[in-house]
Amino acid sequence: MADNSFENKMKKLEEIVSKLEKDDIGLDKSISLYEEGLELSKSLKDDLTKFEKKIEEINSNEE
C-alpha cells in the first residue's frame, strides 16, 4: 500500500468487505482477504487511538 493514510486504509478495508460479501471467490481467497482485513482493522484502531490521544493533548493544552 503506497499511501498509508487512514482514508486509504479505510477504503481498502471497505473493498475487502465488499469482496467477501460476494459469493464468487474461493475459500483460500476468502481467508486471505479476511486476514488482510483483520490487519487493516487493527492498524485503523491503532490510528484512531493515536488521533484520540493527540486530540486530548491539544484540548489539555488549551485549558
**Structural domain spans, the chain:** 6-62
pTM of the model: 0.82
Supply the mean pLDDT for the chain.
93
Q: Give every CB contact of residue 51 below 8 A, 6+ residues apart in sequence.
A: 6
Longest dimension (CA), the chain: 55
Q: What is the mean pLDDT of residues 4-15?
A: 96
Which pLDDT value is given to residue 1?
44
Res. 23 pLDDT band, cuts 50 70 90: confident
Q: Is the model more confident about 63 or about 50?
A: 50
